[in-house]
Amino acid sequence: TQLLEQSPQFLSIQEGENLTVYCNSSSVFSSLQWYRQEPGEGPVLLVTVVTGGEVKKLKRLTFQFGDARKDSSLHITAAQPGDTGLYLCAGAVSSGSARQLTFGSGTQLTVLP
């Protein structure tokens, strides 16, 4: 069973601060995705990282995939209230005919104005 541990579980910061969310596993994933989810809605894909050591930037968000493809981090620079939400990492493993996602435990981020 692949498990993804996210930390911190809850994070409350002031607007303008920086933050990092971590996603760790003892298993190797073929790719890893980060999602953001708002209450009452489905998760929205932010990024997919595939190669060990890969870094992707999406405006103020920087995503990194560990060299061994077991861990990942999400760094947000100058957080804004609009960044508030539940951030989920999800590791993809090939399972038969489809790619099955294993979700991390989630990080609830609140950015205060």
Partner 1 sequence: GAVVSQHPSRVICKSGTSVKIECRSLDFQATTMFWYRQFPKQSLMLMATSNEGSKATYEQGVEKDKFLINHASLTLSTLTVTSAHPEDSSFYICSASTGVGQRRAFFGQGTRLTVV
- Residues contributing to the site for partner 1 (CB under 8 A): 6, 31, 33, 35, 40-45, 48, 50, 86, 88, 92, 95, 97-106, 108
Distance of alpha carbon 4 from alpha carbon 102, whole angstroms: 7
CB-count exposure of residue 16 (10 Å: 0-12, 13-18, 19+) = exposed
CB of 24 to partner 1, least distance (A): 14
Nearer to partner 1, 45 or 112 (CB): 45
CB-count exposure of residue 88 (10 Å: 0-12, 13-18, 19+) = buried
Nearer to partner 1, 73 or 108 (CB): 108
Strand-pair category, 5-7 with 10-14: unpaired
CB of 78 to partner 1, least distance (A): 25
CB of 38 to partner 1, least distance (A): 10
Instruction: Please tell me the number of Cα atoms within 13 Å of 1 on its side-chain side.
Output: 4
Nearer to partner 1, 16 or 19 (CB): 19
Nearer to partner 1, 42 or 82 (CB): 42
